[in-house]
Copies of this chain bind each other. A is one copy, B any other.
Amino acid sequence: MNFLKVTDIKDIEKLILKKIPTLKGKKEICKLEDSLGRILYEDIKAILNVPEFNRSTVDGYAIKSRESFGASQGIPAFFTLKGEVFMGEDTSKKLNSGEAIYVPTGAMIPNGADAMIMIEYCEILDDTLLIHKPVSKFENIMLMGEDVKAGDIILKKGSTITPENVGVLASLGIYELPVFKKFTFSIISTGDEIIGEKEEYKMGKIRDINSYTLSLAIQKFGIVVEKKIVKDNFETILEEVRSSTKNSDIVLISGGSSAGNYDYTSKVISLLDDGEVFVHGISIKPGKPTIIGRSKDKLIFGLPGHPISSMVVFNIIVKKLIESLYLQEDKDDFYYGILSQNVHSTPGRTTYQMINKTVENNEIIINPIFGKSGMTTLMTKSNGYIILESDIEGLEKTSRVKVYKF
């Protein structure tokens, strides 16, 4: 048993990738309308200009800008009305000197025109347009390629698809996207005391918690293929873990990783086909009794049984690993705030302190949440955590801290 040879949290990812060099994000194609939250597998390049023609950004009249110079409320400039461009029309109209052509918002600017004057500044007398202010060259026109130039990278690989960035894809006629295939997960809760949704509660038992918290956390970027509860029987655990390595990319075993009597996880992994445990203990708090191993190219985590420890390890190791495999560049999972009280850390271990936030005078105040580590409500009350590195003893009240969201 090499329980005390804990691994530094900073080395975990490198170690996993060294042990399973084939572990990486794979590609699949996703429809634009199903792409919310998906991560781009490749850079997306513009194959066209946007707009593809000089486009009016207002309802008004296309003119030659230099013919408006000097126009004012008192001395209007005069133009001869020459019809209109219709919405969606590929116009062949040509604007000559002294002429104005009506163009609605979004429609094509006729050849010869170089500016749009908004209808608000216009007056019409029979076939004549009077304008009361000058417009400058290209005013109220979006030029061909001004929004996006053909060949530009418009979204980088690793970008998360949001409502804001599908717009540019749709404008280019890109309706299918190369995204990272979601990793598949099995969740196995172990323990004689654990009972599931369909079992009747008996005094002394504990309802399965971690499979729900983990399952919802995974849904943000992966697929939960199966969830099962297994009693503390070595053969049964071995069989169930073995079958899970066939069903999914990553197996999470919850519980069974402490130094207690019923610690089977490590032994189970080593007995699997080409099985190996390469992390047994990590220098973090909470979450120290974490096991990481593999069976061939399948990754296996033995997570601590305490709900908060389990979520901390999931967030700082499993989630960060997947983000890294997904080449995620635009993680928006942190903010800064001011600590409301002193926080102590455990020397030699990186400490993850649960916090919640309040707002005072345009400043975010970070309040540490304390409580026993088995408490489910500790997590409900917190909305993030701060990290105390292993080489510091604590952080003082009023320190400026970086907060990570779950």
Contact = CB atoms under 8 A, between A and B. Distances in A.
A147 B377 contact: yes
Interface string A352-364: 0000000000111
B105 A258 contact: yes
Nearest to A400: B362
B380 A59 contact: no
A165 interface: yes
Contact of A53 (B89, B170, B203, B375): B203
A169 interface: yes
Contacts of A220: 36, 163
B191 A106 contact: yes
Interface in A353-406: 362-364, 372-377, 379-380, 382-383, 400, 402, 405-406
A32 interface: yes
A164 B382 contact: yes
Given A90-B204, A173-B201, A364-B335, A311 B108 contact: no
A220 B380 CA distance: 21
Interface residues of A, number: 100
Chain A contact surface mostly: loop
Interface stretch (A12-20, A208-216, A339-347): A208-216
Interface of A: 32-33, 35-36, 50-53, 55, 57, 59, 86-91, 102, 104-108, 119, 142, 146-148, 154-155, 161-173, 175, 191-195, 197, 201-217, 219-220, 227, 232, 258-262, 305-307, 311, 332, 335-336, 362-364, 372-377, 379-380, 382-383, 400, 402, 405-406
A-B CB proximity, top 6 nearest: A88-B193, A59-B260, A163-B217, A90-B204, A163-B216, A87-B192
